[in-house]
Amino acid sequence: MRLSETLRTALEAIASHRSRSILTVLGILIGIAAVIVTVGLGEGAQSRVSSAISSLGSNVLVVTPGSTTTGGVRGGLGSSSTLTLADAQALSSRVDVPQVAAAAPVVQINELMQAGSSTWTAPVIGTTPPYLAIRSRRVSIGRFITPGDVTSGAAVAVLGTEVASELFAGVNPIGQSLDIGTTPFQVVGLLNSAGSNASANQDNEVIVPISIAQNTLAGHSSSISQILLQAGSAAAIGPAYQEANDLLLQRHGITVPSEADFTITPDTQLLSTAAAADAALTILLVGIAAVSLLVGGIGVMNIMLVSVTERIREIGLRKALGATPGVILRQFLAEALFLGAAGGVVGVGLGVGLAILLPHLISQPVSISLPAIGGSVVIAAGIGLIFGVYPASRAARLAPIDALRSD
């Protein structure tokens, strides 16, 4: 029997039992759709994490204060006041820490601000000019704070896009005035939109010179919230970490490193952990989808066994007319292959549809992976073929006389 006739016969057999065929492919269909959606969720999560890492700035280290202990209760990291502006200035020295390309002290305070009749509460970040480059930010309108602003304690502010839209909707904010707490500030710049990273909404913040942040907004506090360090390159992260750590231990008079009253961490560490968690979750979900495919494959095998049982007389008659075991084997394998491929194609359509729909329902991007789509169809067809081998072999081994004599 020619291959074309074998395929035609297989399609006719499937079409003659439409309901059963639909139920057969259902398990494979669900499994394939699940694979496409889970792979898309995983790739979308990894893309989101990569974007967030890029938004943090490259080669960044964050120095945070240690913890405090009050009444026997130990506070979290950053609850102490062990970092000062002098520490940040020391870390800016290319002589003492040659692998640190830039350093920016940060004081952060949540403040109520008002412009006209509009009010808004947002983090106010007191810092120095290197902050802009370390955080890989850009000013879209106006300018950033300058060394002169820091030296003079100028009451100038650079706004994030969300703050600007809340306080100056439809108005160019440059040159406008706003009150931060009870202190009037002049808006001199507008940052580009950067979205959210692992710890904050970067569009909902106001940047001011660290001098006025410490002396006015923070009530003459000499401590700082953190110090941002930028290594000269990715390869210099390790040396920069060691140089900064050694310098701060020396400045704070600490001889035992384990007793350090500060912590230095890569700014991407949290996001890397999130990426690892997303990858583990993706593997788990793909594993669940694989179980669905396995169940679908078993369903194909069961239906094919039922088909063989129902068509014993047909098989016997064909063998009596000269059909070889190979011809019978090919026919039933072709049926299983068609069922698997049909489940794969419909499953791909369902999976792609869900990948397009889900981002509108959940705050999670879903990527459409072309390799996953192509691989899913091949896997589905392979599952149908593999699980069809046993029923097809059983049909091929039937003796003609036994088949013709069965009821």
Tell me which range, 25-29, 149-153, 268-272, 294-298, is most confidently predicted by mean pLDDT.
149-153
Q: Is the pLDDT of residue 149 over 80?
A: yes
- 341 vs 349: CA distance, rounded Å: 12
140 or 315: whose pLDDT is higher?
140
SS (H, E, C) 287-301: HHHHHHHHHHHHHHH
Q: Is the pLDDT of residue 268 over 60?
A: no
| Residues whose CB falls within 8 Å of the CB of residue 132, separated by 6 or more in sequence, listed in order | 138, 139, 144
324-338, pLDDT tens digit by residue?
A: 777 778 877 887 888
Q: Are 156 and 149 in contact (CB under 8 A)?
A: yes
Output the average pLDDT for the chain: 80
Q: Is the pLDDT of residue 376 over 50?
A: yes
Of residues 227, 196, 29, the one with CA closest to residue 127: 227
Residue 265 is inside which H or E element, if any? strand 262-266
What are the C-alpha distances in Å from 145 to residues 48, 61, 116, 152, 189? 30, 22, 23, 11, 8
Q: How much of the chain exceeds pLDDT 70, in percent?
A: 81
Q: Is the pLDDT of residue 57 over 90?
A: no
279-302, pLDDT tens digit by residue?
A: 666 677 667 667 767 777 777 777
Predicted pLDDT at 76 = 43
How is residue 75 annotated by DSSP?
A: P
Return the residue matching tokens 């602003």: 149
Tell me which range, 96-100, 207-211, 347-351, 368-372, is most confidently predicted by mean pLDDT.
207-211
**Whats the size of the chain, residue-wise?**
407
27-37, pLDDT tens digit by residue?
A: 778 878 877 88
Domain residue extents for the chain: 3-52+273-405, 60-266
Q: Is the pLDDT of residue 392 over 80?
A: no
- 391 vs 22: CA distance, rounded Å: 19
Predicted pLDDT at 165 = 94
Pairing between β-strand 177-180 and β-strand 100-115 as defined by DSSP bridges: antiparallel
Q: Is the pLDDT of residue 75 over 60?
A: no
| Residues whose CB falls within 8 Å of the CB of residue 226, separated by 6 or more in sequence, listed in order | 62, 63, 64, 65, 78, 83, 105, 106, 108
SS3 (DSSP) at 24: helix
Q: How confident is the model at residue 194 (pLDDT cuts 50, 70, 90)?
A: confident
Q: Is the pLDDT of residue 272 over 80?
A: no
Q: Are 391 and 336 in contact (CB under 8 A)?
A: yes
- 319 vs 361: CA distance, rounded Å: 56
Predicted pLDDT at 131 = 94
Q: Is the pLDDT of residue 138 over 50?
A: yes
Predicted pLDDT at 208 = 97
Predicted pLDDT at 403 = 57
SS3 (DSSP) at 81: coil
SS3 (DSSP) at 239: helix
Q: Are 384 and 297 in contact (CB under 8 A)?
A: yes
1 or 336: whose pLDDT is higher?
336
- 148 vs 88: CA distance, rounded Å: 18
The count of other CB atoms within 10 Å of the CB of residue 26 is: 15
Predicted pLDDT at 107 = 94
What are the C-alpha distances in Å from 182 to residues 1, 159, 162? 92, 18, 21
Tell me which range, 2-6, 49-53, 293-297, is most confidently predicted by mean pLDDT.
293-297
Own/partner long-range contacts of 72-77 (Cβ < 8 Å, ≥24 apart)? 77/263
Predicted pLDDT at 19 = 75
State CA 22 to chain mean position distance: 36
Phi and psi, residue 77, nearest 5°: -60, 140
Between 94-108, 170-184, 328-342, the lowest mean confidence (pLDDT) is in: 328-342
Predicted pLDDT at 238 = 86
Q: How confident is the model at residue 158 (pLDDT cuts 50, 70, 90)?
A: very high
